[in-house]
Chain A
Amino acid sequence: MSDTSETNYLDNGKGFASWFYTVDHKRIGVMYLIAIGIFFIIAAFASFLIRWEHLTPGEGIVSAHTYNVLFTLHGSMMVFLFIVPGVAASFGNFLIPLMIGAKDVIFPKLNLYSFWLYLLGASIFLFALAAPADTGWTFYTPYSIDSGTNVIMITLGVFVLGFSSILTGINFIVTMHKLRAPGMTWDRLPLFCWAAYATSLLQVLATPVVGITLLLLIGERYFGLGFFDPAKGGDPVMFQHFFWFYSHPAVYIMILPAMGIISEVMPVFSRKPIFGYKAIAYSSLAIALISFLVWGHHMFVSGQSKLVNIIFSVITFAVAVPTAIKVFNWLWTMYKGSIELSTAMLYSLAFIFLFTIGGLTGLFLGALAVDVHLHDTYFVVAHMHYVMIGGTVFGFFAALHFWYPKMWGVMFDEFKAKIAFVLIFIGFNVIFFPQFILGTLGMPRRYFNYAPEFESLHQLSTYGTWIIGIGFILMMYTLLKPIPGEAGPNPYKSLSLEWSMDSPPPPLNFDKIPTITEPVYNYGTKIEKES
């Protein structure tokens, strides 16, 4: 029952200032959501142009230099402005206090400053577009030292964004330690919160290393420090070590929150408790810990020593295990459950399927002998997009649809949303599955030109972008044009705390902090029937 006489967080104060200076975690989450959504669209448009360019070999719609700029822009904007803040900053901010029974995060003003730092970092980043970098999002030396483009400015932007990431991580960790409702022991914490906790650990521990790496890169460009310059006794591979020390854990920052979403959606639409709660919770922590031990698998052909290659390859196989545990647990949650194929559930099911493909192909790349052939080919591009789009973005879309009634108080048209899902799913696979084949056949990544025998697969891949584009536009239309009428506090009959108050939630979340007495996923069990 929703009470329109009380204000909700959306009505509580109007105008730019009430949003820009808010300390309400829900408003901050919404602002992040809009910001990352805008950058997602811009970066996706860049990829649209990239694929258009590849309709034919040789020069198509852009020059070679512009092509390099496009894939650098696409990669760096997607990574640093969309997917790393991504689910954590948007849904994490909105949901964590609601899920743990708190009125806000522990440091609300710091939360706002994190958002302002995100905007500042984004502004510096956009400023750099006056002479945009063409180095690839990884800024490898020596080219990033020599390139005549605005490398310093873009890395400075990324440095500031890193600060935003770190402060959000600190906020989430302390919030989860200190503000859980009475009775909410760690084993009653929703799995999305466990995932956010593990993500925050990575944000806090890994980001500073890329911070110093980018500072050293700036120092090298500006002062000629020489750490990465062989002529001065430095080593360009050292840049790669420092860079990937962050960037490998970063990919788990990208995927863990999405996995948390799946863990929330699965039990609701299977009407069954999640299978293996502890296993999923601990595997999130295990992924966070082991992720620091595998960064060298990005450097197998960079000249890294054989010994270190072998060590990293072996540990890379180990890091797949906690993830596989989660996949089995999700599948087992569905077994003998009462499945409802809502849009959120469809995206979650697609996640499991696509992320598994992405994850398994990662194992191909983790095998040294195979990686020698596949490194820097389209196989890697396909692998990363299966995990990042098939994984994170599909999880993100599941969240958009699942918590939609809670966030906005209204419902969307499920039928249109499902059509959009089908188009997005088909479009995505048409883009990227051919790229596995292209990569195995030898098509290198980041190449402007290509041999004519690759043309038909490239064209097929490009057609996929048009399908996914239509699907995405339909999805946005459906979400921006809800069906009239109130959604009610809990249309999916979820047992988790965030559904226990009105939709949209009031500004301070709970009138009275609840006391928790049971585990959170009691779906379909006797306890749920009794309550």
Chain B
Amino acid sequence: MNRHHIGLTLVSIWSITAFAQPVRSPSYLEGKSQVAEKIANRTFVKPIVKKRVMDLQIAREEADNIFSGNPVAAGKAKAAYRISENDEEYVFLSETIEYKLSKRSHAEHLMDLARYTVAEPTLCIDDDTAHAIAKSYVKRYLKQLPMGLLRHVRTAKLMDAVCRLGKSGNPEGETITQTANFEVTFERSINGVEVFGPGGKLHVYLARNGDVIGHSFILREIEETMSTPSMRPKPYPEIEDRLLSILSRSATDNTELLGVRLGYLERSRKTKQGEIPLAYMVEYSYGPHSKRLVNYYDAVTGLVLDPAANTGMGDSR
């Protein structure tokens, strides 16, 4: 083998083993510097979730309070509620009013199903009014929640649209759109640190005329004695190295790191959590036709927090 061949072989090996380095977006770089500032010379509390029993008797008491005192349910559910139960939750249903209590997270969900996802023929309020109504509802009817620790994060709208189809199913004419419902979301923080994931949220649902038609929340109760700061996170670059190592096996030419945040990960209503871990949340994508991938790493141990359950043993052809 001459020198030319050796050179070509080395280039070939390099092209096989090297991988496209992900692009770091401006939001990612900004997130990285914010994370560094957040953890500098600081320790964090370890939130322990208060142990609470959720059995049928307690669930019934909660349901009785809702069906007698909450304006979404009271007066509208004239028939006695029916109770059903599965591994995950208690469900109380009376006419169109549905109330669910989660066994593992104590998450709560109340909805007037007749008015949810339906655009009623009424005038529509604006976003600011929706926010104000939602805030007032929480203060008055969800007094057990720490409203002072919840911040408004967004007012989403469920939008409806319709249009006529012409030849071969191609649209023609004007598209008519309207707001069906509002969903006002509040998010909690723990000792000033943001909480991400499906938990730590409160949603209030409104009809287009501003009537509250339901609420839902996943807000695990935290022990008050947890206030001693005790956790020191690993610096983020250590986590970044782990991610880059994973991406070395799957990155494409268009891989882009989109963002990184430090916060507490509060999980879905189906998950029993004894403590709420401090975590790094990293977002990336493989390009224009890619899903947005989100990985969580335990900020103290550096371990991946979110292993997938199913690794792909589907049916044979």
- Mutual binders A and B: no
